[in-house]
């Protein structure tokens, strides 16, 4: 995997850094695994804008991803590694021995022609999915479930990975990408290996237009608003804005908003660093 710095033939390309897409093997998605995406432009069912700074963007089709990996014991061959416009990670098209095709989140190092399998009896190799209770301690994992059968919800974005630290009874101790150490039921599934496209963090857009292509509209800074619109607005001339806080008045930059009575607090062994 690599990134490319473009030759600055236009102002928008001067600082532009693009993905090399070395890992991607085809640009043709599997038609049977595509679904339509309806754009809302940040409006609700009454046409009222409920999310600001959304709208526009390139038209996309959704790629139906198998987050559950519930087809246990059946080997699947990796047919291609593909780009997915709906996520930062690359996806892999796999075909099972019974002919069924599906998309999975591609781990780092997964190659075309490789076989992957899910289930308790699987070998701890890149791309295989299995319950946390069957993995060796210290394994680098991704696409982790929080409840058995729910499907992967944690460590799914480009370059993300967690580590299996220990097992305590029916729970496994997992160190998450945020630095938080948490108990997860040992029956939950996870995929071996880190998520692909770790170079995503090195990309530079180069121009504002690329944000528009992604469906993001221009964002108004709070300090230039009026006092009626934001706690940091108002003042004579160029006022700095006071203490950073949200539109609702909640302090930003370090203020912890997690509820002290949240039910899942008992599963957190160590909080993420400030």
- Which pLDDT score, from 0 to 100, does residue 239 have? 87
How do the domains of the chain map onto residue ranges?
3-201, 220-274
What is the arithmetic mean of pLDDT over 26-54? 96
> In this predicted model, what pLDDT tens digit does every residue of 42-90 receive, in sequence order?
999 999 999 999 999 999 999 999 999 999 999 999 999 999 999 999 9
Q: pLDDT at residue 240 above 90?
A: no
Rounded distance between C-alpha atoms, residue 35 and residue 46, angstroms: 24
Least confidently predicted of 63-72, 153-162, 248-257: 248-257
Determine contact, residues 244/253, Cβ cutoff 8 Å.
Answer: yes
Rounded distance between C-alpha atoms, residue 231 and residue 240, angstroms: 12
Determine contact, residues 30/103, Cβ cutoff 8 Å.
Answer: yes
> In this predicted model, what pLDDT tens digit does every residue of 89-119 receive, in sequence order?
999 999 999 999 999 999 999 999 999 999 9
Determine contact, residues 168/203, Cβ cutoff 8 Å.
Answer: no
What is the arithmetic mean of pLDDT over 226-249? 92
Ramachandran quadrant class, 21 (left: phi over 0; alpha: psi -120 to 50; beta: rest) = left
- In this structure, whether the domain defined by 220-274 belongs to CATH 4.10.950.10 is answered with yes
Domain topology for 3-201: OB fold (Dihydrolipoamide Acetyltransferase, E2P) (2.40.50)
Buried residues in 58-71 as b, exposed as e (16+ CB within 10 A): eeeeebebbbebeb
* Average pLDDT in the chain: 96
What is the arithmetic mean of pLDDT over 146-174? 97
- Which pLDDT score, from 0 to 100, does residue 173 have? 98
Q: How confident is the model at residue 238 (pLDDT cuts 50, 70, 90)?
A: confident
Rounded distance between C-alpha atoms, residue 5 and residue 18, angstroms: 6
Give backbone dihedrals phi and psi of 144, rounded to 5 degrees, phi first: -100, 140
- Which pLDDT score, from 0 to 100, does residue 1 have? 63
Rounded distance between C-alpha atoms, residue 81 and residue 264, angstroms: 36
Percent pLDDT > 90 in the chain is 95
Fill in the DSSP letter of residue 41. Answer: T
What is the arithmetic mean of pLDDT over 130-144? 97
Q: Provide the whole-model pTM.
A: 0.93
Q: How confident is the model at residue 241 (pLDDT cuts 50, 70, 90)?
A: confident
């Amino acid at each position: 995997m690599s990134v490319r710095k473009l030759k600055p033939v236009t102002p928008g390309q001067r600082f532009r850094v693009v993905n090399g897409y070395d890992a991607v093997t085809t640009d043709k998605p599997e038609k049977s695994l595509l679904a339509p995406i309806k754009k809302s432009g940040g409006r609700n069912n009454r046409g009222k804008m409920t999310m600001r700074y959304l709208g526009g963007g390139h038209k996309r089709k959704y790629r139906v991803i198998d987050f559950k990996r519930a087809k246990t014991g059946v080997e699947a061959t990796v047919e291609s590694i593909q780009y997915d416009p709906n996520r930062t990670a690359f996806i892999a098209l796999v075909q099972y021995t019974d002919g069924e095709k599906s998309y999975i989140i591609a781990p780092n190092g997964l190659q075309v022609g490789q076989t992957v399998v899910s289930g308790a009896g699987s070998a701890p190799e890149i791309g295989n999915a299995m319950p946390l209770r069957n993995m060796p301690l210290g394994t680098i994992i991704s696409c982790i479930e929080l409840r058995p059968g729910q499907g992967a919800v944690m460590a799914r974005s480009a370059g993300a990975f967690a580590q299996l630290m220990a097992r305590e009874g029916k729970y496994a101790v997992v160190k998450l990408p945020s630095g938080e150490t948490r108990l997860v039921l040992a029956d939950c599934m996870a995929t071996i290996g880190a998520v692909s496209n770790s170079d995503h963090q090195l990309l530079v857009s180069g121009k504002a237009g690329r944000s528009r292509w992604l469906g993001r509209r221009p964002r108004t800074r709070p300090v230039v608003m009026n006092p009626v619109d934001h706690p940091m607005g108002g003042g004579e001339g160029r006022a700095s804005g006071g203490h950073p806080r949200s539109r609702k008045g909640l302090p930003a930059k370090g203020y912890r908003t997690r509820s002290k009575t949240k039910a899942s607090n008992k599963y957190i062994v160590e909080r993420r660093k400030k």
